[in-house]
Amino acid sequence: MLLTELMFPGETKREIVMEAGRTHFYLIKSSPRHDAAMGGAVLGGLAGLAVVSVATAGEANLGPGELVALDEATARTKLAELEAVE
């Protein structure tokens, strides 16, 4: 699985083993590097984004998001909450 974002200098990758009849549930959250880069962009525009991107280049997750695996019960609860909001 691959997460990318326009104008973001990195990718989040996760290997997934597919099996027939199995469903995987993931919650996608903003990564700490993404949060820092967006904060830099708000405060300093593209120059701020560039400075923060270079400063956070050593992060373990270079991409814009985090993929958090969920068990089925938790995922179904979250999906129900989203449907209730709509």
Residues 6+ apart with CB under 8 A from 14: 1, 26, 67
How far is the C-alpha of 76 from the C-alpha of 18, rounded, in Å? 20
pLDDT of residue 43: 82
Contact 61, 12 (CB under 8 A): yes
pLDDT above 70 covers a percentage of the chain that reads 99
pLDDT of residue 53: 76
Q: Predicted confidence band at 74 (pLDDT cuts at 50, 70, 90)?
A: very high
Amino acid at 29: K
Range 72-79 average pLDDT: 92
What's the pLDDT tens digit per position in 21-61?
988 899 888 888 888 888 888 888 888 778 877 887 777 76
Q: Predicted confidence band at 76 (pLDDT cuts at 50, 70, 90)?
A: very high
